[in-house]
Amino acid sequence: MLAFKEKEKEQEKEQAPADVLPGLHRYSGKRSVLVVDDEAVNREMLSMMLSDVYDVLCAADGEEALEIMRREGERLSLVLLDVRMPKLDGFAVMEIVRGDERLRRIPIIVLTSERSYEVRSLRLGATDFIKKPYDEPEVILARVERIIELSESTTIISHTERDRLTGLFHREYFFQYVEQYDLRHAQLDVDAVQVDVYNFRLYNALYGHDAGTELLRRLGGILRDFLRETEGFACRQEADVFLLYVTHREDYDRLLGRWESRLAEDRRFSSVRLRAGVCPHADKHMHVQQRFDCAKAARETLGRLGASVAVYDSALHERELFARRLLDDMDESLADHRFKVYYQPKYNVTGSEPVLSSAEALVRWDHPDLGMVSPGVFVPLFEENGLISSLDRFVWREAARQIRLWRDRYGVTLPVSVNVSRMDMYDDTLTETFLDIVRESGLSPRDLLIEITESAYTDDAGRLIAVAEELRRQGFLIEMDDFGAGYSSLNMLAQLPIDVLKLDMSFVRHLRSNPKNLYILRAMIDIKEHLGVPMVAEGVEDEEQLKLLKEMGCDVIQGYLFSPPVPPEKFEKRIESRTQS
Amino acid sequence: MTIDDLRAFGANVEEGLTRCMNNEAFYLRLTAKAVSDDAPERLCAALRVGDLDAAFEIAHQLKGVYGNLALTPLFSVASGLTERLRGREPGDYLPAAERIVALRDELRALL
């Protein structure tokens, strides 16, 4: 994994420009200028004026001028060019220079007082004019200096405004250009588009880093070709992510298909899948970056299969606004006690009558405007955002306080299990935090059951095992949540120290629909017996499931059959009836 | 040839010297170079055979050089002739060209 990341970084680095100032003389440190005039007097006079400040090279006609230019290349800071000359005149020289990728960057000042030459010279790329008879040396020097300065600053821009790998703009320039473009074309209907290569890492992994780089280079070329046939710009934002700002169109699907087939010309790239997120009809009042954020949000809705283009629409917008709002409101809701901890009872069913044995703490959000918000909505959101940590800690603390309260009130200690999010596992103070919490409420670690989900750690089992071991050393009990869901690995189970196995809810739900599940359940029961830990089944909804699970050897049952998660006041009724019986 | 000679000739010596970074020797050397050139003779020859394109070319070139050296009498004749040739104005161009030769010879005599 890390290796891929490094490689992506390198690929980003390849855009690093070489900021070499052209024109600085190798030896003298002076800039070089070339004076081209067939009249020796004019030539020498200009040389005289310039030689204090510059290294002056001279040519008596166009051919000689070109020869020197080709030889000196970017080391020349400026060419002062007469128009009327034998052999090759100034216009012919400019024509040739313009077609030469290397020479065209060298600025040219045309030596003429003929107005009629000026327009033609400008068209051919001349930057300025010096008339004959010459102005005072100061004026000429100032002009020469200004043109060189201007050219050097724009040369630096042209070195860095484009990504070397793809020939597209860099992100910063791209956004600037988009802004400028919008100012001038406020009425145009344009789309902000984000394009990426699905599973780009794979190409680095399969064919090596060079192949990944080559893929990006080719895609850059394809996008450049595309921009020739439509109005717009493109840039490479980072690694394999490209941004396009183009005239509105509906056929991005077809377009991606076309680009993919061009990429497929190289056999290594025959299965490359491109994805695009489109923010259509860009709203010019929105900040550029925001429009591309929308395109990104749309692109992120795309999975591995199915559509390759997603358009940012009002539904997605609503979802985003909703998510934004929940994220914004979390802190305030925490402070205002808008988050409630509900408790779902767990019953021990090993005896003849089910006995209340423990509970699971589950968070509920009573949003001031939206009412009860499902944890299925906000938990994934907070997990993504990192906010989940403070919410988790609130729940843990609250659950501990509640255990203590019930103990004081009813004289029984009812263990409560709390969930630990993936993020918490990377908090080095996790064990300390739990210890503080039980200490604050005067509980022992065994009163708080810690639920961890194994499936979230397929790529970092070591971390999970280390944290679980540490918590157990301090006396906490570890409950493995969601067992039987998706990725449960027997291998991990062998290494992970656990105290309770918790059967996944969806597994319980499908127990009857698929007879194979019964065999699997049998195997799981074997495992838990082998490990010598109790098994909890959650999501149990009816008597039939209960009977089956009980017969098979499941120890504890949690589910709507007994009770949904309820507020503590309501839960207390159950404690009361237990203590009474 | 001295600076005073050129001043006596009618040259705008100050202007010419300025362009030469006030280097008198350099100015005099460039002027000597200019008056050693046979371009005025080639101008006359072109006019005699009626090659007005070539004549314009040379007149234009002379105008540039004389202008830069601020050899005012030569510059004004060359400049006037260049404009007349550019517009292909009717009339005889040769006297102006011969005038250039004469003025140039005046300076050549000082070398």
State how many domains chain A has: 3
Residues of B (56-95) whose Cβ lies below 8 Å from A: 57, 60-61, 63-65, 67-70, 75
The distance of B68 to chain A (nearest Cα, Å) reads 5
Residue of chain B with shortest Cα separation from A114: B60
Looking at the domain assignment, is residue A249 inside a domain?
yes
Query: Per the CB < 8 Å rule, is A45 touching B19?
Result: yes
The distance of B31 to chain A (nearest Cα, Å) reads 8
CA A276 to chain centre: 14
B77: domain CATH number is 1.20.120.160
For A389-446, what is each residue's pLDDT tens digit? Answer: 999 999 999 999 999 999 999 999 999 999 998 888 888 899 999 999 999 999 999 9
For A237-295, what is each residue's pLDDT tens digit? Answer: 888 999 999 999 999 999 999 999 999 998 888 888 999 999 988 777 778 888 898 89
How far apart are the C-alpha atoms of A410 and A407, rounded to whole Å? 5
Identify the pLDDT of residue B51.
Answer: 94
Amino acid present at A375:
P
For A345-373, what is each residue's pLDDT tens digit? Answer: 999 999 989 999 999 999 999 998 888 88
Looking at the domain assignment, is residue A324 inside a domain?
no
Query: Per the CB < 8 Å rule, is A48 touching B20?
Result: yes
The distance of B26 to chain A (nearest Cα, Å) reads 9
Query: Where would I find the beta strands (DSSP E) of A176-304?
Result: 190-197, 232-238, 241-247, 274-279
For A43-74, what is each residue's pLDDT tens digit? Answer: 999 999 999 889 899 999 999 999 999 998 87
Looking at the domain assignment, is residue A435 inside a domain?
yes
Q: Which of A139, A160, A181 is the last residue of a domain?
A: A160
The distance of A129 to chain B (nearest Cα, Å) reads 15
Q: Are A376 and A525 contained in the same domain?
A: yes
Looking at the domain assignment, is residue A339 inside a domain?
no
Q: What is the DSSP string of chain B?
A: --HHHHHHHT--HHHHHHHTTT-HHHHHHHHHHHHH--HHHHHHHHHHTT-HHHHHHHHHHHHHHHHHHT-HHHHHHHHHHHHHHHTT-SS--HHHHHHHHHHHHHHHTT-
Q: Are A96 and A179 contained in the same domain?
A: no
Task: Say whether residue A53 is in contact with chain B using an 8 A CB cutoff.
Answer: no
Identify the pLDDT of residue A187.
Answer: 77
Q: Are A307 and A354 contained in the same domain?
A: no
Query: Do residues A451 and A360 touch, judged by C-beta distance below 8 A?
Result: yes
Task: Say whether residue A366 is in contact with chain B using an 8 A CB cutoff.
Answer: no
Task: Say whether residue A40 is in contact with chain B using an 8 A CB cutoff.
Answer: yes
Looking at the domain assignment, is residue A106 inside a domain?
yes
Examine the pLDDT at A6 and tell me if it is beyond 50. Answer: no
Residue among B26, B30, B67 whose CB faces A133 most closely = B67
State how many domains chain B has: 1
Q: Are A274 and A403 contained in the same domain?
A: no
Q: Are A408 and A366 contained in the same domain?
A: yes
Task: Give every strand in the sheet of A55-59, ordered side by side.
Answer: A55-59, A32-36, A76-82, A108-111, A128-130
The distance of A145 to chain B (nearest Cα, Å) reads 17
Residue of chain A with shortest Cα separation from B18: A136
Q: Are A139 and A260 contained in the same domain?
A: no
Q: Are A145 and A189 contained in the same domain?
A: no
Residue among B18, B21, B34 whose CB faces A41 most closely = B34
How far apart are the C-alpha atoms of A461 and A199, rounded to whole Å? 23
The distance of B8 to chain A (nearest Cα, Å) reads 21
Q: Are A469 and A362 contained in the same domain?
A: yes
Examine the pLDDT at A8 and tell me if it is beyond 50. Answer: no
Identify the pLDDT of residue A461.
Answer: 76
A208: domain CATH number is 3.30.70.270
Query: Do residues B60 and B82 touch, judged by C-beta distance below 8 A?
Result: yes
Residue among B21, B33, B70 whose CB faces A48 most closely = B21
- Picking from B29, B30, B35, B76 by the largest number of A CB atoms within 10 A of its own CB, the best residue to mutate is B30
Examine the pLDDT at A376 and tell me if it is beyond 90. Answer: no
Q: Are A280 and A204 contained in the same domain?
A: yes
Query: Per the CB < 8 Å rule, is B18 touching A137?
Result: yes
Q: Between B29 and A372, where is the model more confident?
A: B29
Provide the pLDDT confidence category of residue A28 given band limits of 50, 70 and 90.
very low
Mean pLDDT estimate for chain A: 85
Examine the pLDDT at A486 and tell me if it is beyond 60. Answer: no
User: Which residues in chain B have Cβ-Cβ distances shorter than 8 Å to A41?
Assistant: 30, 33-34, 65, 68-69
For the entire predicted model, the pTM comes to 0.49
Identify the pLDDT of residue A488.
Answer: 58
Structural domain including A497 reads 344-580
A404: domain CATH number is 3.20.20.450
Structural domain including B50 reads 3-108
Q: Are A271 and A360 contained in the same domain?
A: no
Q: Are A115 and A180 contained in the same domain?
A: no
Q: Are A435 and A551 contained in the same domain?
A: yes
Query: Per the CB < 8 Å rule, is A137 touching B33?
Result: no
The DSSP bridge pattern shows strands A232-238 and A556-558 to be unpaired
Provide the pLDDT confidence category of residue A492 given band limits of 50, 70 and 90.
confident
The DSSP bridge pattern shows strands A556-558 and A448-453 to be unpaired
Residue of chain A with shortest Cα separation from B66: A133
